[in-house]
Structure 1
């Protein structure tokens, strides 16, 4: 039986206390406000952690130390950088569309916050167990493209506009392969609900029992997810050597910080989705009828399983950055339209055959 050490008890206790003292209607409003504040705090902490992790991972791969002066072993370096960005003046360039220019960084963060809704961080711990969770995530993720195009066009800067157009073409193209990879796994579970997908892996993660199509879908999803988040080697939208900083060239202060934070939040989200689809999300690692081994695995809290899998995949994406050189824009689009998309469609057909014939475990 799965362990019960999770955030479920805390969630239940808070909900009962609010209903007891405030009544159902006010309790619901208080819960919404509390969830919003917790998501904002989570984003802030996660951003600090991922930036520090990025610096340390890149330092190890380049045989250097990374941040090691501010705070113990450099832990406060990202906090110092955040404080600097908060104190810097936010400038709006002449000729810019001020409304859209100021709206874009908030829109990209709102999209990131909305995507967190169906993500299951632990057993019975998610904001809303919507029955079309995977479709919801895919739909809301597309809003970030609008924010990037809005930022590039409203900046009245040719480099920002070129970066935004590149990003739009890149994200829209790679969404196709990522979407087909997701559909491939949905066919196995026959459900769009996040919880149903996780529970379907109780006797084994899909990456192991989904045969070769599941492995191919995972590889394609990780490549497409790296491109969708504008991470190297697909960072054409903000290529420093060509476009200064791409679509956020004219942004400074906290507006730039929001774009910077959104990139890392999106990396966490795509890795969380990959962990849910292919590695069982919060589900422990079980091996067949090994009751003793499985029982030991159940003692590890479900939240630790989820975060552990997610951060392993984040490390993989960071590894990509320091392994592969940046592609040209024509190479990037050729990779998607000539290779990834045809392979994805063929893989979907193969998975269809496996599901119809019930060859999966």
Structure 2
């Protein structure tokens, strides 16, 4: 595609136009997907609480998210008089942008990544770690006690769980032997008994898959780790002073990050775009369909947990991250590397 545009428009302009189209092919469906998973989230919560959920706007309530989006778009953007106005307006844009840029290296199929770089996993770690800046800037620039308190919580929470996520990913990188996201998926082909396409069923990697899933919930501040938005303690957290599209960008960024973590779960541990079994007829289904199915499954798990598990206390949250997940993931790095040295490299 890039070569064709370069032949028609020239090297520089052709490269720019081709990559712009590829970016829009990821970003626009992702924003549509965010709207639909918000609807799915609400329907799952409703079903688990024996309620109906959205069912009025559009068939089966499918247009509820778009009606909510129109409502916030038409509302007035209120900027507190004592806030730092520049940073106050930049914070939601930063949060939303960071939620999008990490998708550049997610492989949707064989050779179907926007940027198939050799350090794709490091890029995702760097991009996802920037998300905390939007939250901190939002809390500080509001010049209000409760948002600032929430921003401090968010900084401690996200940094704490990024450490354990980093060690979990080291175990995956050691086993796959690469940081390239597409290559990590390829290494999972027939990994178990020559037929199951997944690292997750490997006894040495399954505990890390569980740790990664729980840490992803804490990293995205989803229940039961939504201490940054604990309405019983800090009103509505770092978003308290935001309204209109500024609030909507935080909302879109949060769900974009949730979908990203679901995609990482599917890609790193459960075969990504590969079918569950290394069986020829299953490969007739396009890889992007398998990836979307796995993302939707993990999103259902996220919603299931939010609907059923009560919120942790903050001391419980930090103890789980520092006293359980960090030592466990660090020990697992030694365990996996030791096993590989004895079996693969000896």
Structure 1-normalised TM-score?
0.91
Residues 1:332 and 2:317 aligned together: yes
Superposed displacement of residue 358, structure 1 = 2.5
Superposed displacement of residue 285, structure 1 = 2.2
Task: Tell me: CA distance 1:355–1:206, structure 2 relative to 1, closer, same or farther (3 Å).
Answer: farther
Superposed displacement of residue 300, structure 1 = 1.0
Paired residue for 1:250? 241
Superposed displacement of residue 17, structure 1 = 4.2
Is the partner of 1:94 in helix, strand or coil? coil
Paired residue for 2:286? 301
Paired residue for 2:270? 279
Residues 1:43 and 2:30 aligned together: yes
Task: Tell me: CA distance 1:250–1:320, structure 2 relative to 1, closer, same or farther (3 Å).
Answer: same
Task: Map 1:1-361 to 2 at 5 A.
Answer: 12=1, 15-204=2-191, 205-208=197-200, 210-211=202-203, 213-287=204-278, 294-358=279-343
Superposed displacement of residue 151, structure 1 = 0.4
Structure 2 Cα separation of the partners of residues 349 and 199 of structure 1? 24
Superposed displacement of residue 39, structure 1 = 3.7
Superposed displacement of residue 111, structure 1 = 1.2
Is the partner of 1:357 in helix, strand or coil? helix
Kept in 1: contact 2:23–2:114 (CA 8 A)? no
Superposed displacement of residue 328, structure 1 = 1.0
**Consecutive unaligned residues in structure 1, runs of 5 or more:** 1-11, 288-293
Structure 1 Cα separation of the partners of residues 207 and 24 of structure 2? 38
Kept in 2: contact 1:90–1:252 (CA 8 A)? yes
Q: 343-352 or 298-307: which moved more?
A: 343-352
**Consecutive unaligned residues in structure 2, runs of 5 or more:** 192-196
Superposed displacement of residue 359, structure 1 = 7.2
Kept in 1: contact 2:198–2:276 (CA 8 A)? no
Kept in 2: contact 1:123–1:303 (CA 8 A)? no
Task: Tell me: CA distance 1:359–1:209, structure 2 relative to 1, closer, same or farther (3 Å).
Answer: farther
Structure 2-normalised TM-score?
0.95
Is the partner of 2:224 in helix, strand or coil? coil
Structure 2 Cα separation of the partners of residues 199 and 223 of structure 1? 25
Kept in 1: contact 2:139–2:147 (CA 8 A)? yes
Task: Tell me: CA distance 1:23–1:348, structure 2 relative to 1, closer, same or farther (3 Å).
Answer: same
What is the number of residues matched between the two proteins? 340
Kept in 1: contact 2:79–2:242 (CA 8 A)? yes
Task: Tell me: CA distance 1:208–1:336, structure 2 relative to 1, closer, same or farther (3 Å).
Answer: closer
Superposed displacement of residue 23, structure 1 = 1.9
Kept in 2: contact 1:118–1:128 (CA 8 A)? yes
Superposed displacement of residue 169, structure 1 = 0.4
Structure 1 Cα separation of the partners of residues 144 and 229 of structure 2? 13
Structure 2 Cα separation of the partners of residues 183 and 209 of structure 1? 17
RMSD value over aligned CA atoms? Answer: 1.5
